[in-house]
Amino acid sequence: MKYPRLDPPAFLTDFTTEQQRNDWSKEVLGYFNQGIAFNDAFPGVTSQFYNPVTTETADPFIEPLIEWPGFPKLVKDHFPNDPEMAWKTAETGANARERFMDEYLEWHVVRKNGKITRVSFTCETAQYYNFLAKTDPAKLLEIYKALVDPQFQNQVVLADLIVGGVYQPRNKWNREHGAVHLIQTNNNLFAEVMIAAQACILRSREDGTPITDADELIRCAEYGAPGRASDPKIGSDVNGLSRAGNSISLRNPVALYLTGWSSGGMKKPDGSPVGNYWKLLRGKPSPGANQPAMGLHLVFEVPASEGFVVGDIKIGSRTIQFGGQLAEKINVGLFGLVCNEGQSNNPSFKCGVGPAAAEPQAAMAAESVGASVVQKLPTRVPLDQ
C-alpha cells in the first residue's frame, strides 16, 4: 500500500483545489524527507523512517496510537501535591501558552463576571494555518471567525492575520481572544515528524547496552526535553518499534490529534452528573467506544438552556476555575504506521552522536564522540524562566 498523497489533518475539507491538496502533501512529505536524510546520514544506516507516499507499506502493517495527557507534565510535576497551583501556573501571564503549554495542547479561557463560560482547546499546528494564509486567505479568515471567542468573531479582519504578505501566528486573535492553533515554539508539525524520525536511530551506552528508557533516550539523542510527557513518549515508542526492526512512518493524515476527552467526575450545581458539554468544532469524533478520536479543536461550554456556566461545574468539591482542570481530561496523540517487523538491522550509536560525524558503535573510539555536531530541535522553555 502507498498513499497517493497525505491528506489535510483529520481529512479537513478546507482545501478547495487539487493544487492545495497536492501542495500540502508535498510540504508535509518534505518534513519526512528531512527526517529520512537525517537518519541516512548516519554511517551504515538505512533509514527505518520512511515516506509513506513514495515507499510501499507492506502487509501486515499496524497503526499504533501514541498518546499522552494534554496538561503540561513539567508544570504538574513541579506542584505534585498542589494541583490548583499547577492549573493556575499553566495559564497565568501573557506568555503562558508559549511558556507552559508544551504538550501539543493549548487552550483559551473566556470568563464572564469572574466565572469561566467557555474553554477552547487546539492541537492544530501553525504550519497548516500558514499554508492556508498562502493559499486561501478567505478560508483562513472564515476559520478564525469560527474559532475565536464568539463575541469577537465579527471583529477579526485579515489585516490582523497577514501583515506584509506574511502570516502572523501570534496575532491577537490567536493569543488574547482564542486558541486557533498552537503557538508554543516546539508544538509544531515539523517537530512531530522529526522526533519520530530521529527516534528511529538506535542508541547505546558506553558499554554497548541498548538504551531503552524514554528519558535516557531523549537525553542521549537530544530530540526534545526530558521530563515532559509527549516527546519522550513519542521517542520511546518509536525507538521500541525501531529496535524490533520495523519500518516506521506516520498514518495519513499526519497531524497531532485530540484522541479522547471525558466528563468523568464533573457535577452540575445540583450535584447530578453533567451532560456532554464538549463540542468538537474541527476534526473527527471517536468512531466507537474505546476508539481514539481525530479531534483538532474542542470547546467546553454549557448550553444556555442549562441555566449555569462552566464555572459553576464542580469536579469533586472544586469548581472549575481554570482551563487546566479540563485540559487534564484530554489526551493528545498521533498515529504511527509500522510494517516489516524484524527486517531492519541498523547499527546503534552512542549518545550525542549525530549524522555528520557519526560512526557505528562498534567501530568508534570513545574520544571521537565529542567531535560530532548534533542536529537538535530547539529545547523547551524551562519552568523557572
Partner 1 sequence: MPEEPEDPTAEELLEADQIQGNILAGFNKDHQVFLFLRIEQTGEKAPSQETVAAVKAWLRALAPQISSLNEVHRFNELFRTLRARLGRDPHGVSATWMNIAFSAAALEILTSSQDVAEFKDSFFLDGLPARSSDLADPTDETAEGHPNQWVVGGPRNPADILVIVASDSPAALAERVAQLKASLSQATLPETGEAIGSALRIVWEEAGETLPPPLTGHEHFGFKDGISQPGVRGLIRRSPAEYVTPRVIDPAKSPQPDPRIPEFARPGQPLVWPGQFVFGYKAQNPNDARVPREDLMMSGPAWARNGSYLVMRRLRQDVRAFRDFVVSESARVSALSGFEGMTPKRFASMLVGRWPGGSPLARSPLSEDEDLGRDGFANNFFQFELNSPPPLELKSDVGYNGDTFSLSMEDSKGAVCPFSAHVRKVNPRDITTERGTRQDVLTRLILRRGIPFGPPYPEDPGDAMLATGEVGTQRGLIFVSYQTSIENQFAFLQTNWANHGRNPNRSGGEDPIIGQSPDEPRRHRFFEITAPGHPPVTRELVEEWVIPTGGGFFFSPSISAISEVLGRPLA
113 binds partner 1 (CB under 8 A): no
- Of 14, 38, 72, 73, which lies in the binding site for partner 1, with binding defined by CB under 8 A? 73
Q: Which is nearer to partner 1, 110 or 214 (CB)?
A: 214
Spatial distance between the Cα atoms of 89 and 100, rounded to a whole number of angstroms: 8
- Of 164, 287, 316, 342, which lies in the binding site for partner 1, with binding defined by CB under 8 A? 316
65 binds partner 1 (CB under 8 A): yes
Residues 114-153 that bind partner 1 (CB under 8 A): none
66 binds partner 1 (CB under 8 A): yes
Spatial distance between the Cα atoms of 35 and 196, rounded to a whole number of angstroms: 8
Cα pseudo-dihedral 207, 233, 124, 319, rounded to 10: -140
326 binds partner 1 (CB under 8 A): no
82 binds partner 1 (CB under 8 A): yes
67 binds partner 1 (CB under 8 A): yes
383 binds partner 1 (CB under 8 A): no
Q: Which is nearer to partner 1, 150 or 227 (CB)?
A: 227
- Of 34, 185, 212, 379, which lies in the binding site for partner 1, with binding defined by CB under 8 A? 212
Residues 333-362 that bind partner 1 (CB under 8 A): none
Q: Which is nearer to partner 1, 128 or 223 (CB)?
A: 223
Q: Least distance in Å: CB of 180 to partner 1?
A: 26
304 binds partner 1 (CB under 8 A): no
264 binds partner 1 (CB under 8 A): yes
Residues 151-210 that bind partner 1 (CB under 8 A): none
Query: How many chain residues touch partner 1 (CB under 8 A)?
Result: 41
Residues 213-252 that bind partner 1 (CB under 8 A): 213-216, 226-227, 229, 232-233, 236-237, 240, 244
Q: Which is nearer to partner 1, 65 or 357 (CB)?
A: 65
Q: Which is nearer to partner 1, 28 or 330 (CB)?
A: 330
The answer to whether 246 touches 341, Cβ cutoff 8 Å, is yes
Provide the binding-site residues for partner 1, judged by CB under 8 A. 60, 64-69, 73, 77, 80-83, 212-216, 226-227, 229, 232-233, 236-237, 240, 244, 260, 262, 264-265, 267, 273, 289-290, 292, 315-318, 331
